A and B are shown apart, each in its own frame.
Chain A
Amino acid sequence: MSYTIKTDSLSKRFGDIQSVDNITIDVEQSEVYGFLGSNGAGKSTTMKMLTTLLRPTSGSARVAGYDIATQQSSVREHIGFVQQESAIDEYLTGRENLILQARLSRLEPAVAERRIDELMETTGLADRQHDATVTYSGGMKKRLDIASGLLHRPTILFLDEPTVGLDIQTRHRIWEHIHTMHKEYDMTVFISTHYMEEADMLCDRICIIDQGKVKAVGRPSQMKENLEQEVINMRSDNAVLLSDNISSIDGVQDIRRTNDTLQIHVSDGPQTIPIIFQKAQSLNIQIQSVSMTGPTLDDVYISYTGHQIREQGPEPRRKRRW
């Protein structure tokens, strides 16, 4: 198996804060690899090290076969990086932005022209390419950003939180777009995200990262299966009382309540449901509806990190120089 990214105990320290702590991962060629974690988990810092924007404090990594510390320019020739915030020049038109990117990537002008035409078509921006990008919507800007990342046909495309700040509809369109681009150009895609759904929809494999450490790596479907968990959704007329009385039942792992509905995480659903019904009957609780689902990636995340994705402050900054 050939790896396009391989890290060995990669670490980054900012003062007293260990932002990235001994991360060792392998990303296979042509796969979509998701880096899943909350804000401040160390995703961006790791990505900055892999894209040569930051030097690691210790450990090493090879990207596209080149060492990120000693062969930076070779690494840069082989990667595309789409940042979380749009990096397009709003004063320039869509096309001018891609011309700029082509120059930054040292593409031959003729090759650049051809690829820009092609990308304008695939991104659906062809008819707006001569408008200043300040008039573009959030989704259009993102597609243009992704197009700039693809212009020089990188071996690896890094996408840092590609759908942050976009509405649900646009988010779905960007996912489709990433999916199409991946099929079309067959590069490795490394995505960082804190959206479970995004990781689940897009990624072949995900890596759960929390407080700078790798907690788990695997295929989303496999990880869900490995949980050996089923979720019973139960609506009743006294959810609080029911919740208090079923937590001791064998196989019940976790109970979460939203209004009158309980989400009961159990190891064996079909066996547990009758027991819950009995309990409810003895307490005179009316059960109004019941359904059973598999676990979500959310559940996988919680089981590995012990908490839900939470919002945290920004990553620590470096010491003031002035």
Chain B
Amino acid sequence: MRKFATDTYAIFWREMMRYRKSKSGVLIRLIQPAVWIVVIGHTFSGTKPLIQAAGFDGEYIEFMAPGVIVLTAIFTSIFGGVNTLWDRRYGFMNKALVSPIFRSSLALGKMLAIAIVATLQASLIIAISLIIGVSFIDYAMIIPIMAIVTLFSLGFSGVSVIVAATAKSQEAFWGIINFLGMPLFMISPALFPLELMPDWLSSLAQINPATYTILLIREMMTGVESGIPVSLSLGVLGVFVGAIILVAGWTFTRDVSRPF
């Protein structure tokens, strides 16, 4: 168990060292969610009566801020596995695979690093939303919100790492990731309440882990009850992340050294 922890830390350390050296990327990746929250937040401010009809008493931008926080987490984490592709091509993967470390550590170390970076990005979005006037009922909630973002990101970084470890080509990776990313965001209450969606879409949204995360964070930020119990949301998120960790760990024990 101790070995598993130190092995995982070895990989986590390496990934964080790499991020440290590519700081400019952090700002570039921040542009898109910042545009979302500023532009869409104001464009749709006229939908306030609609949102209120669905039971949310507040400004639209307060409604969508949690959505954009989760958007940031989704995209940072789901694209985060891309360096696994480079690792497979440029030898780091083989180097790690011929070393005695646990192969599941390889997956988990990467996932943790991506989740931490995604959380940092999301916290910058929280800062931006504070600047443009979004208020929290209790600012101490920021800490548990960040914890939930980390947990959520851990799940999607796992999805990314699994796809990157098994994809036959770069194109396959980007194809699958893009195919997953946008629907995860759109088919959720990120921009629009579930209550106002057609039934088939809102049923789809209910199998999306992002839905529960957004509802949870929105409730924590605004204090408006989402209609789904907190324990259910946390449970769904926990099961999702747990399952992904297991699958990712298992994926890396298989043949991931193939070139592409």
- Chain A interface (Cβ < 8 Å from any Cβ of B): 48, 51-55, 73, 76-77, 79, 81, 83, 85-87, 89, 91-92, 96, 100-101, 103-106, 132, 148, 317-318, 320-322
Contacts and interface: CB of A to CB of B under 8 A. Distances in A.
Contacts of A52: 97-98
A162 to B, nearest CB: 14
A103 B10 contact: yes
A52 B103 CA distance: 13
A177 to B, nearest CB: 19
B99 interface: yes
A322 B162 CA distance: 13
Given A86-B91, A87-B91, A322 B176 contact: yes
21 contacts: A53-B97, A53-B257, A55-B255, A81-B95, A83-B91, A85-B90, A85-B91, A87-B95, A89-B18, A91-B21, A92-B17, A100-B14, A103-B9, A103-B13, A104-B96, A104-B99, A104-B100, A104-B101, A106-B7, A321-B166, A322-B172
A106 B168 CA distance: 31
B92 interface: yes
Interface of B: 3, 6-7, 9-10, 13-14, 17-18, 21-22, 90-92, 94-101, 166-169, 172, 176, 255, 257-259
Nearest to A79: B98
B17 A91 contact: yes
Name the prevailing secondary structure of the A interface residues.
loop
Contacts, number: 84
Contacts of B14: 89, 92, 100, 103
Contacts of B10: 100, 103-104
Nearest to B20: A91
Contact of B98 (A76, A321, A322): A76
Ranked 6 nearest A-B pairs via Cβ:
A87-B91, A103-B10, A104-B99, A91-B21, A322-B172, A87-B95
Given A317-B259, A318-B258, A321-B168, A106 B13 contact: no
Contacts of B176: 322
Contacts of B168: 320-322
Given A91-B18, A101-B95, A322-B167, 12 more contacts: A54-B257, A76-B100, A81-B98, A89-B18, A91-B17, A91-B22, A103-B10, A103-B13, A104-B101, A106-B3, A106-B100, A321-B168
